[in-house]
Chain A
Amino acid sequence: MSNPSPYQVPDGLFYTKEHEWARVTGGTAKVGITDYAAKTLNDIVYLTLPSAGKEVKQLSSFGTVESIKAVSELYAPLSGTVTGTNQELTSHPELINQSPYEAGWIIELKPSMLEEERKTLLSPRQYEEFLKSLDAEHQN
């Protein structure tokens, strides 16, 4: 029996090795960063996000998320068109730290290649294994 992870990894989402998640409902996907990413950045203070209508490609950068000290790229888990961004984050970027999978969602997009691309994403269990491997690397 493995040790419980210190990071939340909810079921029902797809994950990437760049620590983004995607929740697909019907024809849209909500996208954000994982609890691990949020805890690593800690105080999130600023985001630069695309406008609605922008085309994004899987694994390419669509914006940045910043803490006081650091800048992290945001990588699209799926290709598609941006249909919206979380307006709350402009005045409350800390929502990502408080609720990375719910209130802290970052963009919404209409996936263009869902069937092909979903196979390349990680399941919750696969992402948890990935986190454990990172943790093991840090121990050495």
Chain B
Amino acid sequence: MATTKASNHTPLYEFHRTHGKIVDFAGYDMPIWYTSTMEEHMAVRNRAGIFDVSHMGRLDVTGPDAARFIESLFPTGIGKQPSGKSVYTLLLNENAGIVDDLIVLKVDEGKYLLVVNAASKEKDLRHMERVGAGLNFKIDDITDATTMIAVQGPSALEALQPLTPLPLADMKRFTHAFSTVKGIRAVITRTGYTGEDGFEIIVHDAASGAMAVWEALMKGATPCALGSRDSLRLEAGLPLYGSDMDETTNPLEADLGWVISKDKKSYVGWQRLASLMQQGPARIRRGIVMDERIPRRDFKVTDKAGEEIGVVTSGTFSPVLKRGIAMGYIKTPSPQLGETVEVVVRDAPSKGKIAKLPFYDDSLFGWKRKPHQQ
């Protein structure tokens, strides 16, 4: 009988075990819901939710060559960003294929904190070590020594402010700062994976301090688990590594061309990317909203004439739109926004339309929403 590796637990596992339905996620025992994905999803859209994201990899990069190393790894111009920025970027291979998507917190010219996908961490480390061979830098994996919690929603600021002296209202999106949360040393970054305003906090405590932070946050935010994390990011049009992109996907077809710096050369993959930019992508990531039925991963996409034009890579039911929504890859030239496509659901074509991302009306939902008229 084969023995399986014991699952990893985050510092908040006891809460998950006693309050949630546990599943395996990237080798961690994580909750898929506490009450219901629907309730948790709408709690984030209407108020605030908290997510344990401690399973994500957190890597400190330091050393005399740190800046040079970072610049060589990513297509985004991180060198010219000021300290205090949090930069969404992609790790690329020589073929311009996406190895991972991540956030780089530029602490200063010599220090960077990378937040990577849990399932990609080991692969990312090997890639980074290979690319950086000969340079003088150090990577410290601080994942197990820290706890990371995402606080997301229109009331995220109100939920987090009582716990920290940092004036959160002064923080711009995609910046970070060092402070404390419930007296514990922490990094706070105004980033997230839900489309809403919010903060992600990295607390330098992997024990009872972490649980105290979680419980204090529960006063202003609803605990939310993996199910709602996925439905929220998909509704916001945010791609998921492993589903909507992998090493066979390049940034142009993933519709992430905006991360590519126009003036950088000599990062991994830049030559292949330059020639791809000449040709244009052969397929492109698009959103689809269904009239009826729920699209699921691997369902084929056809045009009105029934010709196959693409495939679904992520699909779900949108609690806000109350319809099926999907992201997928459509061959170029793709149908325009609003044009009809069909998704083959269990052998029957079902009508939908190419939709803008995010899927929701961003004057009503998301970080751009207009404030309530009181």
Contacts and interface: CB of A to CB of B under 8 A. Distances in A.
Q: Which of A42, A46, A68 has the most CB of B within 10 A?
A: A68
Given A68-B317, A69-B316, A48 B227 contact: no
B296 A45 contact: no
B36 A43 contact: yes
A68 B346 CA distance: 17
A69 B233 CA distance: 13
Nearest to A42: B36
Given A66-B317, A69-B227, A43 B294 contact: no
A66 B294 contact: yes
Interface in B226-275: 227, 230-231
Chain B interface helix/strand/loop/mixed: mixed
A42 B294 contact: no
Nearest to A45: B317
A64 B316 CA distance: 15
B33 interface: yes
Interface residues of A, number: 11
Nearest to A94: B38
Given A45-B317, A46-B317, A69 B37 contact: yes
A43 B33 CA distance: 10
Interface in A43-68: 43, 45-46, 48, 64, 66-68
Interface string A51-91: 00000000000001011110100000000000000000000
Interface in B281-329: 293-294, 296, 316-317, 319, 324
A45 B38 contact: yes
B227 A64 contact: no
Contacts of B324: 46
Interface centre among B227, B231, B294 (most CB of A within 10 A): B294
A42 B23 CA distance: 14
Nearest to A67: B37
Interface in B1-42: 21, 32-33, 36-38, 41
A2 B94 CA distance: 61
A42 B346 CA distance: 22
A75 to B, nearest CB: 15
10 contacts: A42-B21, A43-B38, A45-B294, A46-B293, A46-B294, A66-B294, A67-B317, A68-B316, A69-B32, A69-B230
Q: Closest 4 A-B residue pairs measured CB to CB? A: A43-B38, A45-B317, A68-B37, A43-B36
Interface of A: 42-43, 45-46, 48, 64, 66-69, 71
Interface of B: 21, 32-33, 36-38, 41, 227, 230-231, 293-294, 296, 316-317, 319, 324, 346
